[in-house]
Structure 1
Amino acid sequence: MDEARWLDEREARVWRGIIGVQQRLSAVLERRLTRDGGLSGAEYTLLVPLSEAPDGLLRARDLGRMVGWERSRISHQVARMEKRGLVAREECSEDARGSMVRLSDAGRAAIVAAAPAHVAAVRQYFFDALTDAELDVIGPALERVLDRLPESDGG
């Protein structure tokens, strides 16, 4: 077995920073979404791609891929959102085993109402802390990291 290649002091500081930002930013944005928009982070996560899809309609498995969720998580979250009237499930005409998820009028109204405050919070807590030069570095750097990551645990 190969010996571990430990993080040096600089790498450890950066890694701790990434973990801290991810955890704290997610928590702050979740609280703001709930307070300002009445939506959970999970609801917002699904409403965004649905609101951008033609006719507000996506196949459930495609929606799951878009947000990086497993089938069971999508199924449970969509069921919760159906109960709130944010989405509706429909049969898939191409595959009887598949299902479609449609954004409801209430779901569209919820995302339209929540999005401005959410974007303002993202700007306040993330983008306003960075200079243009930092954004020019961090954007491509994060894209390179994302390109190296598998889309699922199997890769």
Structure 2
Amino acid sequence: MNQLILAFAAACVFTGCTAAPLKEPPMHHKNPTTVALLPQTSTTLAPDTVLRFDKVDDSRCPPDVVCITAGKIVYHFTLIFPVGAEPFDLEPAEPSYTSVQRPELVITLATDPPPPRPTNAPPAPPSAVRLTINQAPTESR
């Protein structure tokens, strides 16, 4: 057994086992954050960044109606920065958004939409939408 360890150690010395360290993966691969927001509420993502859930538009076909198109559900959000606002939409067909002002910030829909409601059903209470927030570390300039 000792010979095997010595052989491995010698191989490392002669072949350069001290290879360059692997680059640290971006934070969004390691520590995504999940948040749940109700319509017309917000959360602070960073000292200078707020995410607001504006509203939901649901044009999906109710189960008790025959529709020409299936419709869709769209969630409307706004990122608020000191230099302005960045509105964006998420939907099951396009569940991720990368910020224009902060490209290291990726927001992904992490919830399944509720089923469409029958036409005679009372309005559903607002339901929270879960989002995964990925923020890669910013590089010093």
Superposition TM-score, scaled by structure 2 size:
0.25
CA radius of gyration, larger in: 2
Query: Higher helix proportion, which one?
Result: 1
Q: Which is richer in strand?
A: 2
Relative to the length of structure 1, the TM-score reads 0.23
